Amino acid sequence: MKSAGDAALAALERRLGHDFRNRGLLLTGLTHASAATATRETYQRLEFLGDRVLGLVITEMLIAAFPTASEGELSRRLADLVRKEACAEVAAALDFGSAMRLGGGKIKRSSLLTTNVLGDVCEAVIAAIYQDGGLEAARTFIAAHWRIKLMADAVPNQNAKAALQEWAQGRGIGVPVYAIKSKSGPDHEPHFEVEAKVGVLPPANGEGRTRREAEQAAAAALLAREGVWKAPAR
C-alpha cells in the first residue's frame, strides 16, 4: 500500500510532466535541511546545479526571442527571470510544498516554506529533471513554466493591455475582457491566472503575482499569438 508521501510524490511528478527513472533524485531535490539525516542528502547541491541549468535555458530563450537586444538588455531580462521570486512562483503554482521533506510539526513545516526555500527547491527540481532526463527534459519543463513570464516582459516600456485594446478596436472586433481563472497561494504571496478574450478570437491566458500583472501577461500572450508582438521561442 502506498503511503501519503508516495502519493504526494507521484502527484507532483504528474504536475512536473516528467516520470523519473530515478525518483531518488526528486526526493533529494525536495529534502530540506530540517529533514536531513546521515543518509539523506538535502537539495542544496542540486540547487547549485539547477541554477546553472535554468540560466542556460533562459539565456537560450532570450537569445531566440530578442535577436536584436543588447547584452545589457539580455542581462537585465535574465536576472529578472531567474530570481528567487520567479522560481518560488513556479514552485508554489506546482505545489512543491505538498511533497517536500520537512522537519518539525505542521506549524514549523509551514513556516519553512519561504520564498527563498521554494526558489531553491525549484532550482533543485530542475537539476533533478536534468540529471534524470537530460538537458532536453529540463528545457521542456523550463519552457513550459517560464515562457509566459518571458512573454509578459516581451516588449519593454509598452502596456500590453493598452496595445491589445488599440489593436482590437482598430480592427473593430470589440474590447478586451479579462476574467480571473484561478487565484492560489497565501495572501502575502498570491498567484493569479487570468484569461483575456477579444470578440470571437480564442482566449489567451497569463499568470502573475498580481491581477494586473496576470492581465498584462494574458494581453501579451494574445498579441503574440496573433502575430502583433513577437512570441518567445519554444
Q: Is the predicted pLDDT of residue 119 greater than 90, yes or no?
A: yes
The full set of domain ranges for the chain reads 4-147, 160-225
Q: Which residues carry out catalysis? A: 51, 123
Q: Is the predicted pLDDT of residue 102 greater than 70, yes or no?
A: yes
Please state, in angstroms and as integers, the Cα–Cα distance from residue 180 to each residue in 50, 176, 197, 205, 212, following that order: 32, 14, 12, 10, 10
CB 178 within 8 A of CB 196: yes
Give the residue-averaged pLDDT of 170-185: 91
52-79 tens-digit pLDDT: 999 999 999 999 888 877 888 788 889 9
What is the residue-averaged pLDDT of the chain? 86
Give the residue-averaged pLDDT of 22-40: 85
Closest among 143, 184, 198 to 17, alpha carbons compared: 143
Q: Is the predicted pLDDT of residue 182 greater than 70, yes or no?
A: yes
128-139 tens-digit pLDDT: 999 999 999 999
Q: Residue 1 — pLDDT band, cuts 50, 70, 90?
A: very low
Report which of residues 230 and 20 the model is more confident about.
20
Q: Is the predicted pLDDT of residue 157 greater than 50, yes or no?
A: no
Model pLDDT, residue 107: 52
Q: Is the predicted pLDDT of residue 3 greater than 60, yes or no?
A: no
The pTM of the full predicted model, rounded to 2 decimals, is 0.66
Q: 16-27: string of b/e by CB count within 10 Å (b at 16+)?
A: bebebeeeebbb
Give the total residue count for the chain: 234
118, 61, 227, 152: CA torsion to nearest 10 = 30
The CATH T-level fold of domain 160-225 is: Double Stranded RNA Binding Domain (3.30.160)
The Cα–Cα gap between 229 and 159 comes to 12
Span 4-147 CATH architecture: Orthogonal Bundle (1.10)
